[in-house]
Amino acid sequence: MDEALLRGLTPSVLTVLVRRGADFAAAEDAVQDALVEALRVWPADPPRDPKGWLVTVAWRRFLDATRADTARRRREDRVEEEPAPGPAPAVDDTLQLYFLCAHPSLTPASAVALTLRAVGGLTTRQIARAYLVPEATMAQRISRAKRTVSGVRFDRPGDVATVLRVLYLVFNEGYSGDVDLAAEAIRLTRQLAAAVDHPEAAGLLALMLLHHARRAARTASDGSLVPLAEQDRGRWDTAAIAEGIGILQAALARDRLGEFQAQAAIAALHADAPTAEETDWPQIVEWYDELARLTDSPVVRLNRAVAVGEADGPRAGLAALAALDPSLPRYTAVAAYLHERDGDLATAARLYAEAAHKAPDLAERDHLTRQAARLNALRRR
pLDDT tens-place string over residues 329-367? 899 999 999 999 999 999 999 999 999 999 988 889 999
Instruction: Quote the pLDDT of residue 87.
Output: 46
The dihedrals phi and psi of 225, each to the nearest 5 degrees, come to -75, 145
Residue from 127, 132, 110 nearest 329 by CA: 132
Q: Rounded distance, CA 176 to CA 356, Å?
A: 17
Strand runs labelled E in 170-234: none
Of the pLDDT bands very low, low, confident and very high (cuts 50, 70, 90), residue 325 is very high
Q: Rounded distance, CA 24 to CA 22, Å?
A: 6
Asked whether 251 and 203 are in contact (CB, 8 A), the reply is: yes
pLDDT in tens, 269-321: 999 999 999 999 999 999 999 999 999 999 999 999 999 999 999 999 999 99
CA torsion sign for 352, 358, 360, 365 is: positive
Q: Provide DSSP, 144-171.
A: HHHHHHTT----S---HHHHHHHHHHHH
